[in-house]
Amino acid sequence: MIHIRPVPLALARLAAMLAVLLLFTGCKKQEAAVEAVAAPLHAPASQADDTGWKAYFQYVIGHNDDGVTDRTNAYYLPAPGGEDYDGKYTRQLQGVQDVVARGVLPGNMLAFMSPDSTKMADLIVAAFKDSSAGSMRKVVILFVGKSVDNERVKAAVANTGCIYRFVEAK
């Protein structure tokens, strides 16, 4: 008989943060080392600063994870105009729709951010339009964006019974 011990909460959080870091860094064989980026206190001034936005997103997630006892699923959409932007948006939307349809267990977090707050808000609204009432109780949904997009995102996820958090990207 195999006995599996539960993973301590601190170790689970560390693993989740490392998973988010790996998600953002990707795998490129030609790179010998991954450069550490200091987490900024403010959003980058330029929408084109993809590395800066990702570091800011990680910082915000880390400072808004109260009540998260399991994993964080981070959804980041780069600024418009990049290579295959429409394809990235479509794949991201499909992925979030699949997660919403399957449901999310209590203690998890879904975090959303993009340099283009309006486009990410559009994605969230579209992904949650067919969500089931009460399907995400005790799930934290974090939206990092502009205050003008906050209310419509909040309304789009309210049906799920989630714990909604908004952080203004500034």
According to the model, what pLDDT value does residue 17 have?
A: 54
pLDDT of 157 over the 60 cut? yes
The residue among 47, 58, 20, 63 whose CA lies nearest residue 118 is 47
Over residues 81-87, mean pLDDT: 90
Instruction: List Cα–Cα distances, 64 to 3, 39, 80, 105, 170, in angstroms.
Output: 34, 14, 26, 18, 16
* pLDDT at residue number 111: 98
- Indicate if the pLDDT at residue 122 is higher than 80: yes
Mean pLDDT computed over every residue of the chain:
84
pLDDT at 84 over 50: yes
Model confidence at 10, pLDDT cuts 50, 70, 90, reads: low
Length of the chain: 170
More confident residue, 109 or 6: 109
Query: At residue 166, does pLDDT exceed 80?
Result: yes
